[in-house]
Amino acid sequence: MRLLPVLLLMLSSAASAEVYIYTGPNGERMVTDKPVKDQNYRLLTQRDSFSNVGRILANRPIKKAGPEQFQRYITNASREFNLDPALLEAVIKVESDFNPSARSSAGAAGLMQLMQATATQYNVSDRYNPRENIQAGAKHLSYLLERFNGNLMLALAAYNAGPSTVEKYSGIPPYPETRRYIRKVLDAHSSFQQMRYGAE
């Protein structure tokens, strides 16, 4: 959208103001300081500052949030296991796109795509139950972060390919799928931090 660079220049002089970021019918994004009434434009996020607007626009569009009924479970699990809620949301986004009924060809199930062995390890009785699934997935992610000394990329690689595989290769396995997975989660994490939690 050619109007966007000019609009950003006009807005950049303001120290702070209401900022509305919309997605247009062709996937383009529009930034304005006033609400847009055109139904062809969907509000993506609303901020109270122009800070980092360019970074938000550069990211691949994703949902502003997962379904609201999961938010309480995400918040509670992130607090219990000392995880960034935006990271937890990012893993759910990439694993299942917030679909609690998701099932992979390998047999992983639910929002955080738990394998049966992992579910059993964390006493999950129903992998399709959002609360149980998020709770166990968060606990497992926290365990992996501890196992790999807080190294997020290794923990994500282990979540995708298994911790023994990461240890076998003494780092991120040379699997294209795992490397794509890490990039997707990191990108979604950055987007959720900015759009949902106001991180700079």
CA 107 to chain centre: 22
Question: CA-to-CA distance for 149 and 110, rounded, in angstroms?
Answer: 27
Q: How far is CA 31 from CA 3, 17, 135, 184, in A?
A: 10, 12, 37, 25
Structure tokens at 80: 């219990």
Active-site hit among 28, 95, 146, 200: 95
Per the annotation, the verdict on 95 as an active-site residue is: yes
Question: CA-to-CA distance for 68 and 37, rounded, in angstroms?
Answer: 24
Handedness of CA 110, 114, 115, 118 (dihedral sign): negative
Active site residues: 95
